[in-house]
Structure 1
Amino acid sequence: MSAALPSGITVFERGWLSSNNVLLTGADDEPAILVDTGYVTHGPQTLALVRHALAGRPLGRILNTHLHSDHCGGNALLQRELGAPVVIPPGEADAARAWDESRLSYRPTGQRCERFRVDQILHPGDLVRVGERTWQVLAAPGHDPHSVVLFAPDERILISADALWEHGFGVVFPEIENRPAFAEVRATLDLIATLKPVLVIPGHGAPFTDADAALERAYRRLDGYEAAPDRHGWYAGKVLAKFHLLEVQQQRLPELLDWLAHTPYFRRIHERYFADADYGAWSQRVVDELERAGAVEVRDGVVFNR
């Protein structure tokens, strides 16, 4: 079930193109902290939401749970406009400083992110204090090998990013690259279970209180992926296509299929899980399955996001 938030925590629940943004505040004159900044095309909206919620207090830092485009796309704009330093987990620091869009996944996924400056590193084991609340930084590999989550132990509040949603977790990207990571997903879920959070603020979707039920669903999904890895492949393919349509909103079917044909990560999914299937037919089936699920509508040769 969804839950009311304690004082000092504001969640901007976004659509699935942008991750949720979590604003942590203390006293009126204390600099606030923003966790994750959404996708680049939503940058002006993110800036407006944050400015309004700050109500004149400074933004002291931007923390990223990981560097997928939907979590850090607003970094550069907020860095310029609000003067806040950007703090990221250590694993992709070199790639971010060099702005290697292949290592950062933006080029392979066909996604965008404006270049930002890396100011500090957020290490697992660090403590982040805002007001009277202290957050532990915990490693949470699986969905992304370098992801972290934040946990306030006194109140058992978890900012879970894409490690745990109310109804699942994010695509396990290392698996697409043939780097086993389902065990890391399980270890991260096990860690969350030991924390026994009473409030979970996920990277996507509304905050919720029934962590046990969410974990049960996540374990069940993970069991299914481990038993039949191609199920994860179908999920990953549909997520990548849907994310693109969330950004463009509509596209002629041949142009969408051409985009998929030239998107490296989509090709990796095919090679990893479906190499025996014709690439064009498999791409069309991904669109067909999205349509059957009600996630897109195909009308007069145009694919519309729904």
Structure 2
Amino acid sequence: MIALGSGWPAGIVLLERGWLSANNIVLLPPEPDAPGVVVDTGYVTHAAQTLALVRHALQGRPLARIVNTHLHSDHCGGNAALQNAFGSPVAIPPGEAEAVRHWDLDRLSYRFTGQQCAPFRFDELLHPGSRHTWGGRTWEVHAAPGHDPHAVMLFEPDSGTLISGDALWENGFGVVFPEIEGEQALDEVHASLDLIAALRPRRVIPGHGSAFSQVDAALEKAHRRLAQFRSDPLKHGWYAAKVLVKFHLLEVQREPLSSLRSWMEHTPYFGLIHSRYFGSTPWPQWQEALLSALLEGGAARREGDDIADGDA
């Protein structure tokens, strides 16, 4: 848990999480008993830890609201646990309201990525252009499509603080999933980066990794990565496939190679990645090349007939 200290606005607590979970941000008003707000809630298998961390950050305060920058599994997997524990309303971007209402696993991406998320209900929508007073500060909601078409960012202009989700990290941005599905989403990534530059934030709290204030440098790195994906689309496809396998290995820690191969065959995003970027390579050879790259890079390791997470 990190209270962001000198130069950062008071009342913003960063719960910097390791994968599988996205960072959680707790917004606290100056009044000691006033309710707090949490932005993003991590992955479902980390929900008990998320609940404990949020309770500690709140220091006995109520939790007034749960807010999501977008609804990928690592950002909203703790919603249900927090909602059950605190009875808090949940605010989500409007684009996936119907999918949440009907808990449509395809539209919510969870079946396509082979990931989990505990069902939750939503109570409010975060419309781009709206403003909300959370933690004693007024936050603007800005659309941030690219990584996710429905994602939003939260900007507090007085302190110049941006909660960027996966639209900007210190060293890049998240996989551009709509691009895999055949949309021209790299243009949306570019537009979101331009929006961040126009907002001129002085500090950024990303969905993953440490908070940072070298915003221009981060934007430059993000533009370089975007240019690489434009010039070599296979690089993006390879990156996306490796991220999905690594996320799965982090979740299961270890499983038989045959089970991992079966999981990949039954996880629709791998079929999309293969057909869009690597269709000239037969599936078995492509799958073998992907697993070999993860093993050689240390992201995975072989233990007998099993494949284990390389970081375990």
- TM-score bracket, normalised by the shorter chain, equals over 0.9
Task: Report the identity percentage.
Answer: 59
CA contact (8 A) 2:37 2:135 kept: no
Which digits, 9 at most, give the CA deviation of each residue in 1:258-301, with x for residues without a partner? 11111111111111111111112111211111122221112323
1:205-224 aligned at under 5 Å gives the runs 205-224=209-228
Partner of 2:128: 124
Is it true that 1:10 corresponds to 2:16 in the alignment? no
The TM-score normalised by the length of structure 1 is 0.97
Which of 26, 32, 35 is matched with 1:31 structurally? 35
Partner of 1:111: 115
1:147-162 aligned at under 5 Å gives the runs 147-162=151-166
Moved more, 41-50 or 123-132: 123-132
Aligned-residue CA RMSD in angstroms? 1.1
What secondary structure sits across from 1:143 in the alignment?
Answer: coil
Unaligned runs of 5+ in 2: none
Which segments of structure 1 move beyond 6 Å, counting only runs of 4 or more? none
Which of 281, 296, 302 is matched with 1:292 structurally? 296
Moved more, 49-58 or 292-301: 292-301
Is it true that 1:256 corresponds to 2:260 in the alignment? yes
CA contact (8 A) 1:9 1:23 kept: yes
CA distance in 1, matches of 2:153, 2:296: 34
CA distance in 1, matches of 2:195, 2:80: 32
Amino acid at match of 2:71: L
Partner of 1:235: 239
Is it true that 1:167 corresponds to 2:166 in the alignment? no
Is it true that 1:98 corresponds to 2:102 in the alignment? yes
CA distance in 2, matches of 1:268, 1:277: 13
What secondary structure sits across from 1:103 in the alignment?
Answer: coil
CA contact (8 A) 2:155 2:161 kept: yes
Moved more, 76-85 or 123-132: 123-132
1:70-89 aligned at under 5 Å gives the runs 70-89=74-93
1:131 CA displacement: 4.1
CA contact (8 A) 1:257 1:284 kept: no
CA distance in 2, matches of 1:195, 1:298: 46
What secondary structure sits across from 2:174 in the alignment?
Answer: coil
CA distance in 1, matches of 2:162, 2:20: 22
CA distance in 2, matches of 1:300, 1:7: 51
Amino acid at match of 2:274: H
Amino acid at match of 1:282: W
The TM-score normalised by the length of structure 2 is 0.95
CA contact (8 A) 1:138 1:149 kept: yes
CA distance in 2, matches of 1:131, 1:78: 18
Partner of 1:279: 283
CA distance in 2, matches of 1:17, 1:290: 17
1:132 CA displacement: 3.7
Partner of 1:188: 192
Partner of 1:20: 23
Partner of 2:69: 65
Amino acid at match of 2:169: W
CA distance in 1, matches of 2:175, 2:249: 17
Amino acid at match of 1:151: F
Paired residues, what number?
304
CA contact (8 A) 1:200 1:207 kept: yes
Is it true that 1:269 corresponds to 2:273 in the alignment? yes
What secondary structure sits across from 1:268 in the alignment?
Answer: helix
